[in-house]
Amino acid sequence: MSAPVLIVEDRPSLAEMLAETLGAEGYEVEVVLRGDEAVARLATPGPMLAVVTDLKLPGADGLQVLRAARAADAQLPVFLITGFATVQTAVEALKLGARDYFTKPLDMDVVLVALRAAVEPRRVLLAALPVEAGMPVLVGTAPSFLAAVGVLRRVAPTDAAVLLLGPSGSGKELFARALHHLSPRRGGPFVAFNCAAVPETLVESELFGHERGAFTGAAARHLGRFEQAHGGTLFLDEVGEVPPATQSKLLRAVEEHHITRLGGESEVVVDVRILAATNRDLEARVETGLFRRDLFHRLHVFPIRLPALAERREDVPALTLHLASRAAERHHVPPPVFGAAAMAALALAPWPGNVRELGNLVERVTILHGGAQVGLTDLGLDATACRQSLGDPGAVALARRLAGNQTGELQAFLGCALP
């Protein structure tokens, strides 16, 4: 998605120099010479990549431009240009959500490094915006992630069974919902069932339903997940945990599209597409007799492997912005502004819990620091764990780009220099 950098500067010579420099770096640029014009421009539809604004302007000052930018898009990076006499005001602006400030005379190397660190994840996030209402947002540009998305888009329009493979927290349910949305069944129900979330004795009843009196406590007929998903998609999460005694009945339902409620005698026709997910090695469970081989092959028609977050570190910054925006919406607070060093440290963290773990941290930070700058100490990350990523040249290069002018702060947190 194309988005410009808005330059707000009342000195035409400085505005022209900024525009030429950024343009030479490949940025699309818009220039306005007055603060009130910038406020009006920010109120118009369409995304922007960043705002670089002088603090002292005719019509409206830089703080008013900052407030207008935050109101238009709380994730929009805003940089202030200030003279020495107004540095304190610029520092106060950081508390209002500015990303950083530059003092005059401008050091364009400093400006470009800071801008690059801020807009790199924003570009990814803008590119990930859904193309149609209701489509789950799939954020990421890592090759392993894009490969999974590409496979998803190819199989989604079919009715083939899909098995989503990947570690816990890697986004398997999100992929399942995207598959449903992109399928001809999008107008039908999407029913998700976590096979590991109920006792083994209840899995069969939850999947296939039961008749009144089928067992003690069955006071009324209960429709199982298969019937609830009729005409739509049934997502079986952690399918490897289905008890062996239930697997034969599940195989029949998948193969023949018929089920029999617990305690019932008649068959019920069910029209569902099956999506399954597991973080287990199902083939190993087949070999040990814990999972039926024929059921495995019925579910494994079209496997999609989702990478762990540590395998797609370049997606962490954009995911952080996306997750912060969602958390802010849920909790009715403005999203925080992640400092450059903080974002770099997030990209180095190990994330054994994958995107779910990142989401939990971002939600906590959003509640505690909504609308404010988030520094390294606000994240609560383990420096020792982050240092383990320094043996990966790709992770180090990413951290350097993201930290930008705050690389020294990142190195102080790590307790060592970047290789």
Do 294 and 161 lie in one domain? The reply is: yes
128 belongs to a structural domain: no
Do 301 and 315 lie in one domain? The reply is: no
The rounded percent of the chain whose pLDDT value lies above 90 is 81
Q: What is the CATH number of the domain that holds 343?
A: 1.10.8.60
Do 296 and 318 lie in one domain? The reply is: no
Do 41 and 73 lie in one domain? The reply is: yes
What is the per-residue pLDDT for 307?
97
Do 301 and 319 lie in one domain? The reply is: no
Lookup: tokens for 404: 């930008």
First to last CA, the chain: 34
Band of residue 342 on the pLDDT scale cut at 50, 70, 90 = very high
What is the per-residue pLDDT for 85?
67
The last residue of one of the domains, among 61, 84, 119, is: 119
The last residue of one of the domains, among 288, 306, 324, is: 306
pTM: 0.90
Do 240 and 290 lie in one domain? The reply is: yes
419 belongs to a structural domain: no
Average pLDDT over residues 83-112: 86
CA 87, CA 104: separation in Å to the nearest integer?
10
> CA quadruple 51, 52, 58, 63: dihedral positive or negative?
positive
CA 244, CA 296: separation in Å to the nearest integer?
12
| pLDDT per residue as tens digits for the range 137-193 | 899 999 999 999 999 999 999 999 999 999 999 999 999 999 999 999 999 999 999
125 belongs to a structural domain: no
Could you tell me which of 132, 131, 127, 172 has the C-alpha nearest to residue 152? Answer: 172
Do 81 and 230 lie in one domain? The reply is: no
133 belongs to a structural domain: no
386 has pLDDT over 70: yes
344 belongs to a structural domain: yes
Do 71 and 151 lie in one domain? The reply is: no
Q: What is the CATH number of the domain that holds 300?
A: 3.40.50.300
- What domain range is 375 assigned to? 311-414
CA 147, CA 246: separation in Å to the nearest integer?
34
Do 81 and 159 lie in one domain? The reply is: no
Q: What is the CATH number of the domain that holds 59?
A: 3.40.50.2300
The last residue of one of the domains, among 274, 306, 338, is: 306
Could you tell me which of 39, 43, 42, 27 has the C-alpha nearest to residue 119? Answer: 27
Band of residue 226 on the pLDDT scale cut at 50, 70, 90 = very high
Mean pLDDT, the chain, rounded, equals 93
Band of residue 87 on the pLDDT scale cut at 50, 70, 90 = confident
**Which are the contacts of 13, defined by CB distance < 8 A and separation ≥ 6?**
none
Do 356 and 302 lie in one domain? The reply is: no
138 belongs to a structural domain: no
34 belongs to a structural domain: yes
Domain count, the chain: 3
Do 280 and 171 lie in one domain? The reply is: yes
Q: Are 252 and 200 in contact (CB under 8 A)?
A: no
Lookup: tokens for 234: 């049934």
What is the per-residue pLDDT for 394?
95
206 belongs to a structural domain: yes
Q: Between β-strands 233-237 and 373-374, what pairing exists: parallel, antiparallel or unpaired?
A: unpaired
Do 245 and 375 lie in one domain? The reply is: no
